């Protein structure tokens, strides 16, 4: 009977050892699965950060490009304004020159008319 009791105890120990082994196996499997999930989350987060960094760089590049274009438009507009200002100045100078020429010509005609009148008056006096 004692041999049967020892046999039963040995089988019970064997069974408990096998249960512990099975629990350890399941726990290791759970830990491996958890590690894989964590690794996948890290990978996804890293990809997300990289994607956001690329988007931010692209946005920055587009903003700088728009800034450059705006500055170029500004520069061209200022050039056109300067050209218009110079053209207006040229036209004003030209108008002043023409006005001066008209004034001189009018004075000249008036002077010649007075001379002719004076000559006419002297000729009539001599008669």
Instruction: Tell me the per-residue pLDDT of 54-84, one tens digit each, with 9 for 90 and over.
Output: 999 999 999 999 999 999 999 999 999 999 9
Can you give the pLDDT at residue 127? 79
Secondary structure (3-state) at 50: helix
Residue 16 corresponds to which tokens in the numbers above?
Answer: 């408990």
Can you give the pLDDT at residue 69? 98
Spatial distance between the Cα atoms of 81 and 84, rounded to a whole number of angstroms: 5
Residue 47 corresponds to which tokens in the numbers above?
Answer: 């990809």
Spatial distance between the Cα atoms of 76 and 20, rounded to a whole number of angstroms: 83
The whole-model pTM stands at 0.49
Spatial distance between the Cα atoms of 83 and 92, rounded to a whole number of angstroms: 14
**102-118 per-position pLDDT tens digit:** 999 999 999 999 999 99
């Amino acid at each position: 009977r004692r041999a049967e009791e020892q046999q039963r105890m040995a089988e019970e120990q064997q069974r408990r050892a096998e249960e512990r082994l099975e629990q350890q196996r399941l726990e290791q499997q759970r830990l491996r699965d958890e590690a894989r999930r964590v690794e996948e989350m890290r990978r996804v987060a890293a990809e997300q950060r990289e994607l956001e960094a690329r988007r931010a760089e692209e946005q920055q590049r587009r903003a700088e490009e728009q800034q450059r274009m705006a500055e170029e438009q500004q520069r061209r507009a200022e050039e056109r304004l300067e050209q218009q200002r110079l053209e207006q100045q040229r036209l004003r100078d030209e108008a002043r020159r023409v006005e001066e020429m008209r004034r001189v010509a009018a004075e000249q005609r008036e002077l010649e008319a007075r001379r002719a009148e004076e000559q006419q008056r002297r000729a009539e006096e001599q008669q």
